[in-house]
Amino acid sequence: MADLQRSWQILKKHQVAVLNLRISATLDALSRILIGSACVRHATAIHQPSALLKEVNRIMHLYEPSTPEMVVDLLRTYTARWWDSSTEFPLIGTPYTLRDQLAREKELSRYLDQLYERMRRPQNFDPSSPENQERLLALTAGVIKTSLGLSDRHIQAILDYGFREAILEFFHMARRFDASLSDEDIYQAIRNSTSMHLMQILLGIPVQVTPSVFAFSMLYPYTDNYLDDASIALEEKQAFNQRFRLRLAGQELPPANQHEAIIFDLIGMIESQYPRADYPRVFDSLLAIHSAQSRSLKLVGKFVSPYQVDVLGTCLEKGGSSALADGYLVAGDLTPQQRDFVFFYGAFTQLMDDLEDVHSDLEDGIMTVFSVTARRWPLDGITNRVFHFGSYLFEAMKGFDAPGLEPLKEMFSIVYYPILIDSANVGSAFYTRPYLKQLQAYYPLRFSYLRKQRSRFQRKRQSLKLLLESLAMQAIANPGVS
């Protein structure tokens, strides 16, 4: 141990890059053996650690860079990758013909008509009927396959991973936790929990709603929306933010109000799964996302010069730190390779969200690289950069080899361009017509058809909510029926 300490001191003093790589690789290999494989063999091992595993966690935390230092390094890496990404139109593949698009639209309309017919009177829909459940699942699968190009194999993989059961369980847990939550709040939390379930699959951990998955996902409707609300005074947000950070850091504070009491209870759920002394990175990562979220307050309320505030860096840090917390909360600890991928994944998905939200961000005075650009220029070039920037995902995922992961990798590669193209289509007013025409050629459906179906969906939204809630309640009441 003394030799290792002296070696680390030499490394820090002289910044010997080669030694740094060797130490990192050694720690990576060690943690893979003792952490990664344990997660695959025993889903509960990471939550009830052995003495050896606790000691490995402690040593890794002691001799690796701190979490803030890691975030700075990762942010520097992916900011450079952003600027190195091209603004030229990407090589997407073979375009769809008009005949292809019309045929898919006809098939999709058939699925949607049948789905909406069942939504029309959800009170008459018996969710306990296996026949009804299978029919609804078949219709939903048909919509996904037709609009995104997935196959039966991929739909079956989604079911086998356990997403459906996890989402239904989360919905019920959220209703029990706080009956006053709106459907929108719960769906926002489920969106984050789904991202954490993807992390579980990547890391070889069974999909499940653990205390930390539930608590961290539920923090979003209670904190993220609050901090993004332009109607709340900055001073009020700062006071709440300071107390929130103290609680994340481990201080026992009496809640100032009911809102804080709920948030503190959620943090307690995480502490019940991951004792602070054994899993310091878990709570360091929570402080990292808190810091990033606090810095993002500078982007809310009014537009200023992009030279006055680091819009790109703030957005990448916010998304990357959030995903980093996801990773630590599902696994307890991460290898260097896993940290690198997870941070990039979060940074990229933050850009995707910002691209889709460009219109509302402009209205709400929220600065992103897209809302700032859209005020003066078309989004053609910067969207091309997102395409190229995100393509690194496919290369990075090659390093993950958990059992049953191949279908997920295939799905990523298939839906990558359609999802990004659709995000751009949502903000079509901010693009040139030639660019939109070029994008549409690589989407399975015409943009005019998409707009028509979106309008139709909005009119059916309440019926869909009632149907989903009915299914969720029935699935919990009768867990043996699937």
Q: Express each pLDDT in 171-225 by its tens digit.
A: 989 999 998 888 888 988 998 999 999 999 999 999 999 999 999 999 988 887 6
The pLDDT of residue 125: 59
Nearest C-alpha neighbor of 195 from the set 292, 326, 43, 317: 326
Task: Compute the half-sphere exposure of residue 122: CA atoms within 13 Å on the CB side of its CA.
Answer: 16
* pLDDT tens, position by position, 387-416: 999 998 888 888 888 888 899 999 988 999
Residue for token pair 């030639």? 434
CA 141/CA 333 separation, integer angstroms: 35
Helices (H) and strands (E) counted in the chain, each on its own, are 24, 0
CA 167 to chain centre: 15
- Under the banding of pLDDT at 50, 70 and 90, the label for residue 433 is very high
Q: Regarding predicted confidence, which is higher, 435 or 43?
A: 435
3-state secondary structure of 232: coil
Mean of the per-residue pLDDT values of the chain: 82
CA 77/CA 302 separation, integer angstroms: 29
The pLDDT of residue 53: 58
Residue 344 has pLDDT above 80, yes or no: yes
- List the Cα angle 229/235/237 in 5-degree steps: 40
Main-chain phi, psi angles of 252, to 5 degrees: -85, 110
The pair of structure tokens assigned to 216 is: 């961290």
Residue 150 has pLDDT above 60, yes or no: yes
Q: What is the dihedral of CA 350, 354, 355, 356, to 10 degrees?
A: 100
Residues 22-46 have a mean pLDDT of 38
Residue 85 has pLDDT above 70, yes or no: yes
Nearest C-alpha neighbor of 264 from the set 215, 210, 220: 215
Q: Running DSSP on this structure, what letter comes out for residue 379?
A: S
Residues 262-285 have a mean pLDDT of 95
Residue 456 has pLDDT above 50, yes or no: yes
In terms of Cβ atoms closer than 10 Å to its own Cβ (0-12, 13-18, 19+), residue 392 is middle
The pair of structure tokens assigned to 355 is: 């691209």
In the chain, what are the domain boundaries? 1-63, 65-92+206-442
* pLDDT tens, position by position, 104-139: 999 999 999 888 877 666 555 565 677 777 888 888
CA 123/CA 470 separation, integer angstroms: 9
Lowest average pLDDT, out of 24-33, 136-145, 274-283, goes to 24-33
The pLDDT of residue 24: 40
Per the CB < 8 A criterion, the answer to whether 188 and 225 are in contact is: yes
CA 193/CA 165 separation, integer angstroms: 12
The pLDDT of residue 126: 63
CATH of 65-92+206-442, one of 1.10.3470, 2.40.160, 1.25.40, 1.10.600: 1.10.600
Q: Regarding predicted confidence, which is higher, 181 or 46?
A: 181
3-state secondary structure of 366: strand
Please measure the distance between the N-terminal and C-terminal CA atoms of the chain and give it in whole angstroms: 54
Residue for token pair 């060797």? 22
Lowest average pLDDT, out of 248-262, 265-279, 320-334, 357-371, goes to 248-262
Residue 44 has pLDDT above 60, yes or no: no
3-state secondary structure of 93: coil
Tell me the one-letter amino acid at 266.
Answer: L
CA 436/CA 440 separation, integer angstroms: 6
Residue 264 has pLDDT above 70, yes or no: yes
All residues at 6 or more sequence positions from 241 whose CB lies less than 8 Å from its CB, including other chains: 227, 290, 294, 297
* pLDDT tens, position by position, 460-476: 555 555 555 555 555 44
